[in-house]
C-alpha cells in the first residue's frame, strides 16, 4: 500500500506542476483522487477520506480558474503588490524599448541550442569588406597615434580623408548619401581603427552611434532627414549628442535641462518654439560640433500645445551658431585627445521644427534614446574593446618570442604562458560575443539586456587583457614614445568602462535589474497585472510562474543526480560537454533567480551585490553561448579547440562562482543549504583552466601560427619599417626563420666543439661544420633585429620637457 501512496503523491505533485496549464491540472488531481479511493478500499477508511478530501479541495481550489481567482489569486495579488517594486514611467519606457532574444532562452532554464546554432553566421557584404580593405586600411596607414597624442589633435588631412570616404555616415542609408552599413560592418570598422588609434576610433564611432544621425534615421521627419542626413554623411555637419549633466549621469532621466514652449523670434519671424536652458558635460565632439542633439525635459505652462504641462523628455537638433550657446572648451579624459567638452545653453530659442520627429516627437525622447541604446551598446565600445584585445594578443605573441631572459624567450616561462593564455582566451570569447550580438541587431533585434552585457563585460575584458599585456611587455609598455604599442590603449580603458552607462551600474541595474523583468517569462506580466489590477492576467502569470519554478527545481535536481547525461545537446564533438554544462547552469540560474526574487522581493533592486552576482551568471551564460556559437560558425576548427576550451572553462568558473555567491548570502541559512544541495550537491567548485591547457594555448600564440593570425584577423598590421608593432612583426619573422640555425648551433655546442656565445663562437661553429657562413649572417641579423626591437624611446631634456 505504501508504494501506492507514494505514486498518489507523485501524481498530485504533477497536478501542482500543471497549475495554470488548463485541464492537465484536473487530470492529475482526479488521478490522485482515484488513487486515494483505491487506497481507501484496501486500507483504513480514514486514509481514504483524508486523501480524497484533500485532493478534491485542492483540485477545486487550484483547478477551477474562477474559484482560484476569487479565493487564492485575489489575496496573492495584494501580497505580491506589496513586495514588488513600483515601476515608474521612465523605467517602463526603458523596458518597452528593445526586444528579448537569447536572454529569454537563458532565463527559461532550457535554452534551445539548435535555434542558436541555426541562427545565420554574421558576415560582411562584398561592399563592406571592400571598405575595410580599402579606405579603412588606408586611413590606418595615415595615422600616427603618438603624434596625435603630442599634438592633441587629429591632423587636418585625416579629417579630410574621413569626410571624403563618409566615415561619419556608416549608419545613414545610401539614399541619403550614407554608406548604409550593417551593424557588423560598423563594428568591424571601429575594431580595426581602435587597434591603431582609440582617438580616431572614438571620433568615427560617435557620429554613427547614439546621436543625431541614428535618431534622425529612425524618428526624424521627412524634412529633417532630407536636410540633415546628407550633410552628416558627408561630414559637412559634425554632430554631438548632449545627454550627460553634472547631476544626471547614469540616471539620465533626472535631467535638469529644460525647454519651455513659448512664442519667439526665429530668423526674423515670430514662431511657436522652445526656450532652452541646459548644462551638459562629457560631450564627445562638442568642441567641433556644428549641430547639437539635445535631450531635455519639455514644459508647456501656458497650454500652447494642449492641456499637459510636463511633456516629458524630448530630443531636438540645435544649430551651434544660435545665440546663448557656450561651446568649444575641452575636458581631458585620461589624456586621450579625442574631442570632448561641456556645452551650456542660456535662453536658446528654437522653433518646434527642431524637435526630432516634429510635434509628434515631443515627450518621446526617452523612448528614442532607450531604443537607440538597446542596439547601439552592441557596437561602439564592444568593438573598441575587441580591437584592443586583438592588438594585445598580437603583441604578446610576438614579444614573448622576441624578448629573451636567462637565454630563453620569456614566453617559455610558465608565468608568462599563463598570462598569454588568458589574453588569447578572453580575445576569442570577446570576439564571439561582438559578432553574434551585431548579427542579432542586423536581424532586427534590439536586445537591450544582451547589449548591456557586451558593453559592460567586453570593456571589462579589455581591462583584463591590457593589464596582462602590459605585464608581459613590462618596461617596454610603460615607457612612452613612438615605440610604445600598448600604452595609449591602456590609458583609454577607464573611459570605455565609464561611458554609455558606468559598468558598475550597468551590471546590476541593466543586465539583471532590467533582465529579471524583461527576459523572465512571467515577472513582467505579474508586475503589469498588479499595476493594472488585472486579476485574470495576474492569475495566469503567477500560476504559470509557479509551474515554471517547480519544473526547473525538479529539472535541476534530476540533472544534478544524472550528471546531465540525459540532456540533449546539438553536437557530440569537443564542445558537446560545454553545451551540457551551460544547460545545467541555465536551469540553476533560473531556480536561484526565482528564489532571490521571492526572498528579496522589491528590495532586490537595492541589493546590488546580489543582483550583480546574478548579472554575472546571466552574462557569462551569454558569453559562453557566443563562444560555442563562434566555434560552430568557424567550422569546429582543430586550430581553435584549445582556446575554445580555455574560454569555456573560464566561463564555467565565473557562473559557478556567481551562483554560489548568491546562495552563500541568502539571509535564511537553511534555505541556502537546502538549495545548495539541490543545485550543486556535494560537488566542489568548478576548476579554472588547467596548466596544461594554458600552456597549449600559449604555445599556439607564441608560434606565430594560424591561431594567432585568426585571433587577430580584424586589426591593422603596420609595415615592417614602422616603429612599434611593424618592427616587432618583422623581427618575429626573422627570429622564426633563424630558429633552426640557432638550434643547430646550440646542439653543436653541447658536443664541446665551441661555446654558446653567439658573438664569439659562430666562427668556430662554422669550422666545426655546424652552420654555414650564410647561416651565421642570418642568425646575427635576427639577433641584431631582436636587440633593436626591444629598445624603448629616449628623449633629450628639451624634448622631454615638451612632451604632452
Give the per-residue pLDDT at 458.
98
HSE at residue 394, side-chain half, CA atoms within 13 A, is 27
In angstroms, the CA 212 to CA 228 distance is 9
Give the per-residue pLDDT at 57.
60
In angstroms, the CA 55 to CA 181 distance is 62
Q: Is the pLDDT of residue 82 over 70?
A: yes
- Residue 754 pLDDT grade (very low, low, confident, very high; cuts 50, 70, 90): confident
Q: Is the pLDDT of residue 54 over 70?
A: no
Q: What is the chain's Cα-based Rg?
A: 31
Q: Is the pLDDT of residue 435 over 90?
A: yes
Region 315-333: mean pLDDT is: 95
Strands 291-299, 258-266: pairing is parallel
Region 159-188: mean pLDDT is: 97
In angstroms, the CA 538 to CA 528 distance is 8
Report the SS3 class of residue 346. Answer: strand
Q: Is the pLDDT of residue 626 over 90?
A: yes
In angstroms, the CA 428 to CA 495 distance is 23
Q: Is the pLDDT of residue 747 over 80?
A: yes
Region 223-234: mean pLDDT is: 97
Cα torsion 596, 599, 602, 608 to 10°: value is -50
Region 251-276: mean pLDDT is: 92
Per the structure block, which three cell numbers stand in for 149?
597624442
Region 155-177: mean pLDDT is: 97
Q: Is the pLDDT of residue 186 over 70?
A: yes
Q: State the DSSP H helix or E strand holding residue 318, giving kind and residue range, or none if neither.
A: strand 310-319
Quick one: CA dihedral 87, 283, 286, 330, positive or negative? positive
Q: Which residue(s) pair with 315 in the sheet?
A: 295
How many other C-beta atoms can be found within 10 angstroms of the C-beta atom of residue 780? 14
775 is catalytic: no
Contact 651, 620 (CB under 8 A): yes
In angstroms, the CA 737 to CA 755 distance is 22
Contact 398, 729 (CB under 8 A): yes
Instruction: Give 717-723 contacts, CB < 8 A, sequence gap 24+.
Output: 717/394, 718/141, 719/141, 723/482, 723/483
**In whole angstroms, how far apart are CA 349 and each of 160, 333, 394?**
33, 31, 52
- Residue 53 pLDDT grade (very low, low, confident, very high; cuts 50, 70, 90): low
Q: State the DSSP H helix or E strand holding residue 151, giving kind and residue range, or none if neither.
A: helix 145-151
Region 3-24: mean pLDDT is: 46
Give the per-residue pLDDT at 3.
45
Q: Is the pLDDT of residue 763 over 90?
A: no
- pTM, two decimals, is 0.92
Per the structure block, which three cell numbers stand in for 109?
532554464
Mean pLDDT, the chain, whole residue set: 89
Contact 361, 314 (CB under 8 A): yes
Give the per-residue pLDDT at 746.
87
Q: Cell match 510636463: residue?
A: 310
In angstroms, the CA 254 to CA 503 distance is 19
In angstroms, the CA 684 to CA 621 distance is 20
Find, among 567, 687, 574, the residue nearest to 627 by Cα.
574
Region 772-789: mean pLDDT is: 93
Give the per-residue pLDDT at 526.
87
Quick one: CA dihedral 405, 406, 410, 413, positive or negative? negative
Contact 508, 612 (CB under 8 A): yes
Find, among 398, 457, 389, 472, the residue nearest to 427 by Cα.
389
Q: Is the pLDDT of residue 305 over 80?
A: yes
Give the per-residue pLDDT at 30.
54
The catalytic residue among 128, 214, 237, 500 is 500
% of the chain with per-residue pLDDT over 70? 92
% of the chain with per-residue pLDDT over 90? 69
Give the per-residue pLDDT at 96.
77
Query: Per-residue DSSP letters for 261-296?
Result: EEEEEETTEEEEEEEEEEEEEEEETGGG-SEEEEEE
Q: Is the pLDDT of residue 311 over 90?
A: yes
SS (H, E, C) 555-581: HHHHHHHHCCCCCCCCCCCCCHHHHHH
Buried b (16+ CB within 10 A) or exposed e, 52-86: beebbebbeebbebeebbeebbeebbeebbeebee
Per the structure block, which three cell numbers stand in for 539?
492569475
SS (H, E, C) 689-732: CCHHHHHHHHHHHHCCCHHHHHHCCCCCCCCCCCCCHHHHHHHH
How many other C-beta atoms can be found within 10 angstroms of the C-beta atom of residue 491? 17
Give the per-residue pLDDT at 612.
95
- Residue 60 pLDDT grade (very low, low, confident, very high; cuts 50, 70, 90): low
Q: Is the pLDDT of residue 20 over 50?
A: no
Which phi and psi angles does 351 have, rounded to 5°? -75, 165
- Residue 465 pLDDT grade (very low, low, confident, very high; cuts 50, 70, 90): very high
Q: Is the pLDDT of residue 183 over 80?
A: yes
In angstroms, the CA 98 to CA 437 distance is 13
Give the per-residue pLDDT at 167.
97
Contact 529, 541 (CB under 8 A): yes
Find, among 84, 78, 20, the residue nearest to 527 by Cα.
84
Distance of CA 412 to the CA centre of its chain: 33
Per the structure block, which three cell numbers stand in for 366?
526617452
- Residue 80 pLDDT grade (very low, low, confident, very high; cuts 50, 70, 90): confident
**In whole angstroms, how far apart are CA 384 and each of 147, 217, 455?**
20, 24, 10
- Residue 550 pLDDT grade (very low, low, confident, very high; cuts 50, 70, 90): confident
Per the structure block, which three cell numbers stand in for 26?
484536473
**In whole angstroms, how far apart are CA 244 and each of 296, 333, 724?**
10, 15, 37
The number of helix segments (H) and strand segments (E) in the chain equals 36, 9
Per the structure block, which three cell numbers stand in for 722?
614602422
Contact 445, 120 (CB under 8 A): no
Distance of CA 363 to the CA centre of its chain: 29
Find, among 787, 736, 731, 740, the residue nearest to 759 by Cα.
787
* 278-295 tens-digit pLDDT: 999 999 999 999 999 999
The total number of residues written for the chain in this structure: 804
Q: Is the pLDDT of residue 240 over 90?
A: yes
Give the per-residue pLDDT at 2.
44
- Residue 84 pLDDT grade (very low, low, confident, very high; cuts 50, 70, 90): confident
Amino acid at each position: 500500500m505504501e508504494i501506492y501512496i507514494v505514486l498518489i503523491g507523485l501524481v498530485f505533485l504533477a497536478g501542482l506542476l500543471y497549475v495554470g496549464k488548463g485541464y492537465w491540472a484536473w487530470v492529475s488531481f482526479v488521478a490522485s483522487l482515484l488513487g486515494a479511493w483505491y487506497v481507501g478500499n484496501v486500507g483504513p477508511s480514514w486514509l481514504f477520506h483524508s486523501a480524497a478530501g484533500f485532493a478534491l479541495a485542492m483540485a477545486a481550489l487550484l483547478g477551477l480558474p474562477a474559484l482560484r481567482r476569487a479565493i487564492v489569486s485575489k489575496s496573492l495579488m495584494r501580497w505580491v503588490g506589496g513586495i514588488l517594486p513600483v515601476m515608474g514611467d521612465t523605467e517602463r519606457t526603458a523596458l518597452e524599448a528593445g526586444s528579448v532574444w537569447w536572454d529569454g532562452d537563458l532565463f527559461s532554464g532550457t535554452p534551445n541550442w539548435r535555434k542558436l546554432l541555426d541562427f545565420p553566421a554574421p558576415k560582411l557584404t562584398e561592399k563592406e569588406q571592400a571598405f575595410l580593405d580599402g579606405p579603412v586600411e588606408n586611413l590606418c596607414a595615415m595615422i600616427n597615434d603618438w603624434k596625435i597624442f603630442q599634438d592633441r589633435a587629429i591632423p587636418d588631412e585625416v579629417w579630410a580623408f574621413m569626410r571624403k570616404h563618409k566615415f561619419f555616415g556608416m549608419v545613414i542609408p545610401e539614399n541619403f548619401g550614407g554608406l548604409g552599413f550593417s551593424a557588423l560592418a560598423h563594428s568591424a570598422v571601429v575594431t580595426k581603427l581602435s587597434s591603431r588609434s582609440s582617438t580616431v576610433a572614438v571620433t568615427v564611432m560617435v557620429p554613427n552611434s547614439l546621436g543625431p544621425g541614428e535618431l534622425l534615421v529612425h524618428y526624424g521627419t521627412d524634412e529633417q532627414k532630407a536636410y540633415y542626413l546628407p550633410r552628416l554623411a558627408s561630414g559637412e555637419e559634425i554632430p554631438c549628442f548632449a545627454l550627460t549633466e553634472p547631476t544626471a549621469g547614469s540616471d539620465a532621466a533626472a535631467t535638469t535641462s529644460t525647454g519651455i514652449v513659448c512664442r519667439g523670434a526665429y530668423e526674423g519671424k515670430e514662431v511657436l518654439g522652445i526656450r532652452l536652458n541646459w548644462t551638459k558635460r562629457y560631450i564627445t565632439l562638442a568642441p567641433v560640433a556644428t549641430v547639437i542633439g539635445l535631450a531635455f525635459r519639455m514644459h508647456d505652462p501656458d497650454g500652447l500645445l494642449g492641456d499637459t504641462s510636463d511633456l516629458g523628455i524630448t530630443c531636438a537638433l540645435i544649430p551651434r551658431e544660435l545665440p546663448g550657446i557656450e561651446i568649444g572648451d575641452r575636458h581631458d579624459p585620461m589624456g586621450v585627445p579625442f574631442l570632448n567638452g561641456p556645452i551650456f545653453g542660456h535662453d536658446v530659442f528654437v522653433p518646434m521644427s527642431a524637435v526630432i520627429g516634429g510635434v509628434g516627437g515631443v515627450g518621446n525622447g526617452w523612448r528614442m534614446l532607450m531604443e537607440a541604446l538597446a542596439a547601439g551598446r552592441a557596437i561602439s565600445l564592444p568593438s573598441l574593446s575587441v580591437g584592443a584585445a586583438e592588438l594585445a594578443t598580437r603583441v604578446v605573441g610576438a614579444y614573448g618570442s622576441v624578448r629573451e631572459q636567462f637565454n630563453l624567450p620569456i614566453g617559455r616561462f610558465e608565468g608568462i604562458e599563463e598570462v598569454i593564455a588568458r589574453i588569447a582566451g578572453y580575445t576569442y570569447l570577446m570576439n564571439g560575443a561582438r559578432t553574434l550580438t551585431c548579427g542579432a541587431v542586423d536581424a532586427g533585434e534590439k536586445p537591450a539586456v544582451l547589449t548591456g552585457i557586451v558593453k559592460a563585460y567586453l570593456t571589462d575584458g579589455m581591462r583584463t587583457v591590457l593589464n596582462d599585456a602590459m605585464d608581459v611587455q613590462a618596461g617596454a609598455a610603460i615607457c612612452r614614445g613612438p615605440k610604445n604599442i600598448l600604452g595609449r590603449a591602456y590609458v583609454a580603458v577607464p573611459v570605455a568602462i565609464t561611458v554609455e552607462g558606468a559598468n558598475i551600474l550597468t551590471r546590476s541595474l541593466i543586465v539583471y535589474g532590467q533582465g529579471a523583468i524583461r527576459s523572465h517569462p512571467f515577472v513582467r506580466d505579474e508586475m503589469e497585472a498588479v499595476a493594472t489590477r488585472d486579476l485574470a492576467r495576474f492569475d495566469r502569470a503567477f500560476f504559470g510562474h509557479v509551474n515554471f519554478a517547480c519544473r526547473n527545481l525538479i529539472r535541476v535536481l534530476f540533472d544534478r543526480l544524472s550528471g546531465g547525461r540525459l540532456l540533449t545537446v546539438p553536437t557530440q564533438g569537443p564542445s558537446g560537454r560545454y553545451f551540457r554544462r551551460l544547460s545545467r547552469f541555465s536551469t540553476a540560474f533560473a531556480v536561484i533567480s526565482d528564489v532571490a526574487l521571492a526572498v528579496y522581493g522589491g528590495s532586490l533592486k537595492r541589493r546590488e551585490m546580489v543582483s550583480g552576482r546574478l548579472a554575472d551568471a546571466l552574462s557569462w551564460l551569454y558569453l559562453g553561448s557566443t563562444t560555442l556559437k563562434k566555434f560552430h560558425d568557424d567550422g569546429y576548427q582543430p586550430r581553435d579547440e584549445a582556446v575554445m576550451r580555455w574560454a569555456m572553462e573560464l566561463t564555467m568558473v565565473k557562473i559557478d562562482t556567481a551562483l554560489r555567491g548568491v546562495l552563500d548570502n541568502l539571509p535564511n541559512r537553511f534555505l541556502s543549504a537546502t538549495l545548495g544541495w539541490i543545485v550543486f550537491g556535494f560537488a566542489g567548485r568548478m576548476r579554472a583552466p588547467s596548466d596544461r591547457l594554458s600552456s597549449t594555448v600559449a604555445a599556439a600564440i607564441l608560434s606565430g601560427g594560424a591561431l594567432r593570425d585568426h585571433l587577430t584577423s580584424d586589426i591593422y598590421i603596420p609595415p615592417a619599417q614602422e616603429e612599434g608593432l611593424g618592427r616587432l612583426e618583422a623581427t618575429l619573422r626573422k627570429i622564426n626563420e633563424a630558429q633552426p640555425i640557432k638550434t643547430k648551433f646550440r646542439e653543436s655546442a653541447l658536443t664541446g666543439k665551441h661555446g654558446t656565445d653567439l658573438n664569439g663562437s659562430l666562427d668556430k661553429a662554422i669550422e666545426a661544420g655546424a652552420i654555414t657562413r650564410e647561416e651565421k649572417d642570418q642568425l646575427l641579423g635576427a639577433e641584431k633585429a631582436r636587440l633593436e626591437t626591444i629598445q624603448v624611446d629616449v628623449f633629450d631634456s628639451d624634448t622631454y620637457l615638451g612632451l604632452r
